[in-house]
Structure 1
Amino acid sequence: MDESPEIVLTNDDGIDAPGLRALFEALSAIGSVTVVAPNRNRSAVGRALSYGRTSTDDTTIDELTVDFSEGAFTSPVPHADHELGYAIDGTPCDCAIVGVNALEPDVLVSGCNAGANLGAYSLSRSGTVSAAMEAAFHDVPSIAVSMDTLGYESEDGELSAVDFERAAAIVASIVEEYPGTGLFDRIDYLNINVPRPDRPIESVEITRPTEVYEMDATMEDGTFQLTNRLWQQMANRDIPDPPDTDRYVLLEDGLSVSPLAVPHDAVDTEPVQAVLEDIVAV
């Protein structure tokens, strides 16, 4: 790109989130930014879509799909104009699809999320990462960025755009410098995790998503309980991750940059086919 990049900015915390505001300010200094973001907090919705759940003329798209006429498979995406762009009544992936297809940007940025997005198990769960993943499926370079906030207390008790300025500056530098490097010839998207703002950045490390996953569930007094042991371990800064993984690096005050490809790579199919042929009679 010889000219300033066209950037679509989205998130899952909602269009008024301070992390998005900080990214908007930083990215606006190096390109043209249009925000296409959820109109409210849609965290942890993963790759969910609103397609088929909205209505046209009081008839749901699900009811229309029996009709194969033109337009039967088109679903409206309710939105409102916003000072930064468009507030979408939908999910982060709705926003990514709308943004990359209707606006045709050079790059999509998703974030900055309040809270780290770490580990292979979280990639498709996180709305922040899922928006970047969705853009990658559409062959648009994309970056998801999240900032660790566990245990962080801002001066006024609430996160503001100032808290995200360092994370936003890092992403802006990448967006400004990557053209001509061939970076996205080799990967589909980046998942970046930044130490919390009161911690130094001791290093910049290329990482892989950790595969350590410790969600637990019990039934107590007739009620199911979910326990995220990883968050407790992170709070204690004591977690069993290999040194080349995203969570290990972040807890060592490193900037974690995970270069990723969109799923899902097929495994060697010949052994699977042989097994299935023995099991399933066609």
Structure 2
Amino acid sequence: MTKRPLILVTNDDGITAPGVRALIEAVQDLGDIVVVAPDSPQSAMGHAITINSTLHLERVKIDESGRTEFSCSGTPADCVKLAVNEILDRRPDLCVSGINHGSNSSINVIYSGTMSAALEAGIEGIPAIGFSLLDYNYNADFSAAKIVAKKVTQEVLKNGLPKDVVLNVNIPNIKNDAIKGIKVCRQAKANWQEEFDKRQTPQGKDYYWLTGKFVNLDKGEDTDEWALENGYVSVVPVQFDLTAHHYVQQLNTWNFND
């Protein structure tokens, strides 16, 4: 008898966030679900891991489903590491992360705790997908995102993913019947023009709030930003090898050893 796929579910908004509950609902019929997620919000954590303090795991009961769920005191990447090494009795067939409250398109992927959890699974050799909805509202409508998440998850379970490749899926904040389709894209060249709002405490000590605006510098129609602005779900295959392969040959012409 063939075993059902084992699907590890995680996120960065915390184990009780509506987005991760929506993701669980979307994929629960596709395999056996184990949830390991942070016990509090860990947005914009990037690929941080906990090395200077202890980590805590607690088995929790969020609903009456009876599924296996753990809350973790660490980061999203910590959650995946602990799941693989301490909790699961077999290797997951897939890791899904999200559904994030807010965009992880373009440059946001490097700051994202959601995507870092997926990338950590990829490092472990586990096919992985990060899902994000372009709505920061805690009570966002995840109905369209759930349909997309199930469809993409089914395709990954069916087709697999190449070694070291993870999918970054972003979903526009529109109704399901308004979504034009799912578009495979490249990451747009964009960045944040950042400022710091400097203030003072009543005691006269300076403190800062990070502010700024997102600027898309890429006019291509094959990017995630273009797809999202035009009513498509964007799917970008990403990797954790940061080598600038195109520059290796040129760099070898430098006189490092003279």
Q: What is the TM-score when the length of structure 1 is the normalising length? A: 0.76
Deviation at 1:277, TM superposition (A): 1.4
Aligned-partner SS, 2:191: coil
Residues 182-193 of structure 1: pairs in structure 2 closer than 5 A: 183-185=160-162, 188-193=165-170
Change (3 A) 1:240 1:185: closer
**Alignment partners' CA distance in 2, 1:16 and 1:116:** 19
Determine if the alignment matches structure 1 residue 250 to structure 2 residue 228: yes
Specify which structure has the higher proportion of strand: 2
Residue 48 in structure 1 maps to residue 35 in structure 2: no
Contact 2:94–2:157 under 8 Å retained in 1: no
CA distance in 2, matches of 1:32, 1:228: 42
Identity, % of aligned positions: 31
* Structure 2 residue runs without a partner (length 5+): 62-67, 200-205
Does 2:83 align with 1:99? yes
**What is the root-mean-square deviation of aligned Cα atoms in Å?**
2.7
1:272 is aligned, of 246, 251, 256, to 251
Report the Cα offset of residue 174 of structure 1.
2.7
Distance in 1 (CA, whole Å) between partners of 2:57 and 2:219 is 42
1:1-282 aligned at under 5 Å gives the runs: 2-54=2-54, 77-83=55-61, 85-102=69-86, 103=88, 104-119=91-106, 121-149=107-135, 159=139, 163-181=141-159, 183-185=160-162, 188-198=165-175, 200-217=178-195, 226-230=210-214, 241-267=219-245, 268-275=247-254, 277=256
Q: Secondary structure at the match of 2:182?
A: strand
TM-score w.r.t. the length of structure 2 is: 0.82
Say if 2:123 and 2:164, in contact at 8 Å, map to a contact too.
Answer: no
Correspondence for 2:64: none
Deviates more, 1:266-275 or 1:101-110: 266-275
Q: Distance in 2 between matches of 1:219 and 1:92?
A: 28
SS of the equivalent of 1:46 reads coil
Shift in alpha-carbon separation, 1:271–1:224, aligned structure 2, 3 A: same
Contact 1:8 1:100 in 2 (8 A): no
The amino acid across from 1:250 in the alignment is L
Q: Deviations over 1:239-279 (max 9, x none)?
A: 7542111111111110101112222235343542442516x
Q: CA deviation at 1:2?
A: 4.9
For residues 172 and 219 of structure 1, the distance between their equivalents in structure 2, rounded to whole angstroms, comes to: 41
> What is the one-letter code of the residue matched to 2:251?
V
Aligned residues: 241
Query: Comparing 214-223 with 199-208, which one deviates more in the overlay?
Result: 214-223
Deviates more, 1:106-115 or 1:183-192: 183-192
Letter in structure 2 aligned against 1:228: G
Cα gap change, 1:43/1:212 in structure 2, threshold over 3 Å: closer, same or farther? same
